[in-house]
Structure 1
Amino acid sequence: MTLLPLLAALAASFGWASGIVIAQSPAKLLGAFAFTHIQLVACGVLAAALTTALGHWHSVPWQFWPAFVFSSVFGILLGNLAMIACLRRGGPRRTELLLSLKAPIVGGIAFLWLGEVPAPADILGATITLIGVCIAIVFGTNTQSQSDARFAPLLHIVGLGVAATALQGAGFLAMKPALEAGLTPIAATALRLLGAAALISVMACLPMKAAKPHTALNPPLLGKTILPGVIGYMFASSLLLFAFAHLDAGIAATLGALSPVLILPILWAKERLRPHPMAIIGALIAVTGTAVIALL
């Protein structure tokens, strides 16, 4: 086991944790729709350019186009809208904790959709993760933290977070047959982002109040909006794929799921406020549950 893949997986977790902290402020200013629109268009163009530069378009098995459409609409567009809405209302810590439910939720979707029966270790890990998330969200609130402030009922925030996690997980599962048929990860990312970007651009032309930015867009705000998308969609995903290629999958998945823990020192450094002890305990329990799923 080499050091570089380990560092890559940890850097991926750190990237997602820091990206969601950076995203909170512009998401609040622009609104979920405008923020998601800008991110999808910018990252879609970047992913397409990278796919072209690497010559990966030839890997696309176009017979799976219904899966590409499903993954773009549900996994990327609707999943991101729900995630950003959760971020705006519940803050980055709660959002990351709810996203840590991805492993058990994806397992449940795979059972219902693909008939994959979860192993006892998966059920145990899912239970541990759920307990950790509940502890951190219900008892771990730090009312002194500006980032941790709630702007909606807790049940509303949890609903948005679970919806985001389920939609993103379903979008990933839909791409599994195409990936097994030879589709490269970067080409898959480009297809999903471009499809979602095209759809949300059409929606933005409709006379909907929700589609309009809540504040005027300027270059600094544009940069703060695009940056977390690039960190998450491009760098963090690529780093984790590198780790999966050189490490045991369970170890890579566990190290790549540490964002609920890593976000705590990031918020501490940002706001100079110590995390609530129950937030730390809950986050550690949630990551332990993910480790049980990945390693056993």
Structure 2
Amino acid sequence: MDINWYPGHMAKAKRLLADQLSRVDVVVELCDARLPYSSRNPDLDKLLAGKKRVLLLNKADLADPAATSAWLNYFRAQGIDAAPYSASTGKAKDALAVIDRAAKEAVERAAQKGIRKTVKAMVVGVPNVGKSTFTNKLHGGNIAKTGDRPGVTRANQWVRITPYLDLLDTPGLLWPRLDDQLAARRLCYIGTVKDDVVDLAMLTIHLLQDMLKVQPQAVMTRFRFDNPDLRGEELLEAVCKGRGFLMKGGVCDYDRCCAVVLDEFRAGKLGRMTLEMPVKKARLTIPGAKKDDESKPQEENSDGEN
């Protein structure tokens, strides 16, 4: 299953984002706390070079707290200012405190000149990690469009948060070639890549297998089967029978099964779950890491295609 998705509006959005950088004091990067490596765009390092950045592990309420703590320690060890957050359930003041900390130097420089600076912060990240929900949380209203699918935000939107903070909500950006197909598949799990460009049956099988590795009992309880070693179509069939996704004659309704499994994972209905962990001495560096670091999150080979 080869996954690539880079619609034309993303190339345009990348150019518009670059055009705004000279106005920006702080960049707030959001990733999904369940996939803190796979849900970061490696191209942002070059694009945002020299800018003060803070990384928010968003949707932390859906992730394993112990795993989130491990990731925070990992990022901080790389010199990355990182914090957990939940744009849907968190408090605006907590996010504002993170931005204030990141903008401290710019504010102090302006204060030395007798100026009360209005900080300009840019929100970036891949599609569907909650950027617009984050913007709305800080604003206190539905100023930015939101949705549970990628591509809802198509244009840059400056929003006045306080008299001293302006926020730029940007469209989700992927990179032109998803060479790391494991990361690409995981992006599909969280809805970063549109469902209609992938094989949903294969994707759902991989997701179920990956969830079984970290939370087998939660998966079997939710989908009502009792064999954690099932793989491939047998696994989908067990979910169909367990949850009653059957058509006339007892035929499995795989389309409904795939839709429900994906929706329930994305909504956190299987409990708090993180699908990748940081480990040492792997092939690629994590985005934003020091050049001499050789770390990458744990990669577990799932049965079937990569």
Q: TM-score, normalised by structure 2?
A: 0.27
* Structure whose residues are more often helix by fraction: 1
Taking CA–CA contacts closer than 8 Å with sequence separation of 6 or more, which of the two structures ends up with the larger relative contact order? 1
More strand by share: 2
